[in-house]
Amino acid sequence: MQSLPARRAPAQQRFSPSKAPNPSAYIPKLTIQNTRFPQNSFQTSLFRASQPSPRRLASSNAGASEASTFATQSPPHAIPPDANIPAPNVKPNPGETSAGAPSMASLAREVRKRAGAATETYIAYAVTEKLFKECARQADYSIPAVLEKGGVAPKTEAGEDLGVGEGWWYNELGLTPTFNTWAQVSFIHMYLLTIRFRQFPAAHAPAWHQHLLDHFFYDAENRMALYHGMAARGVRNKYLKDLFVQWRGVIAAYDEGLVKGDAVLATAVWRNVFKADENVDAVKLAEIVSYMRRWAGKLDGMDDADVAAGGITFGGAEKGRKDVLEESERLREAL
């Protein structure tokens, strides 16, 4: 890119408002060779916004010498975007002005698009925190003994720290209020949210998956330190890695169960929640499967906006007992 030599005002000439020179006369012409122009209308608008306007020179009260000095300086990127200027008698594209620059409406849409992608992770973090608390609430527990000075947590026959908890999972199903029970019941509800997040746009879904899992590990590590005496971070990290492996296994097992049928799903629940106990009550196992199926269908019927608002309250597990105990009409059919 080359610019012409600067024009200089005569040495004896004095500035007079009535004889102010035409500012456009001081703007040098440029020779353009092998120049790359902006590729789209959004870049064109940014380019044009950076160019100095001749009106600034016309409204200036500075002397002719100052105007001349300003005009002789080549503005940065002073290359007109000729490639984006429509030819005569050619209608501009929708959303663009006749000069080729984008309209205010198109610029607003571009800003919303860019801002939405940048803020999605913050929205996902806040909403998944609320949703995880709902997941963790289902089988919440505490160990009051360890909160007392010198207190020691009671143990189960398997050597787990035994806590106290209320709710359907403990009172009706008879599960033991331990860390493992809390984690597995939380996994069930996190899985239900996960399969719903899969229906989000591909660009947004990973952030929702990741933040939901992160909130689980934050809470799990806090419980390890608060209730289970794991003060060493290295010890907690070991258990957190085991929990991550369990979570990956839960996703694979429950996915298979949803596809292949209730028998396969019940087997996955039996292994994870009931620890493959041979004496498990089949009715209780069926109630959990019915609960998962019912909520998977309910979440599937919700709009993305409702899910992203975080207004989900799990419950109604007791309603599945009636469906489970009801005799199927097909059992009366001859084989």
DSSP-derived secondary structure for 126-149: HHHHHHHHHHHHTT--B-HHHHST
Q: Maximum distance among all alpha carbons in the chain? A: 118
- Asked if pLDDT for residue 144 goes beyond 90, the answer is yes
- Asked if pLDDT for residue 95 goes beyond 80, the answer is no
* Inter-residue contact 161 to 155 (CB < 8 Å): yes
Distance CA 136, CA 134 (A): 6
* Structure tokens that stand for 44 in this block: 């064109």
- Asked if pLDDT for residue 98 goes beyond 60, the answer is no
Question: Which residues partner with 31 through β-bridges?
Answer: 2
| Backbone dihedral angles phi then psi of residue 92, each to the nearest 5 degrees | -70, 160
Q: What integer is the mean pLDDT of 110-138?
A: 83
Q: pLDDT tens digits, residue range 156-167?
A: 999 999 999 999
- For 144-184, give the DSSP string: HHHHSTT----B-TTSPBP-B--SHHHHTT----SHHHHHH
Position 57 confidence tier, pLDDT thresholds 50, 70, 90: very low
Q: What integer is the mean pLDDT of 173-202?
A: 97
Distance CA 270, CA 276 (A): 5
Percent of the chain with pLDDT over 90: 56
| Helical pair 233-260 and 179-197, crossing angle rounded to 10 deg | 50
In this structure, the strands spanning 30-31 and 2-3 are antiparallel
The helix (run of H) or strand (run of E) holding residue 282 is: helix 282-300
* Inter-residue contact 216 to 132 (CB < 8 Å): yes
> Sign of torsion, CA 248 254 257 263?
positive
- Asked if pLDDT for residue 272 goes beyond 50, the answer is yes
| Bigger pLDDT: 34 vs 102 | 102
* Structure tokens that stand for 134 in this block: 């709902």
Among residues 314, 331, 325, which one has the least CA distance to residue 281?
A: 325
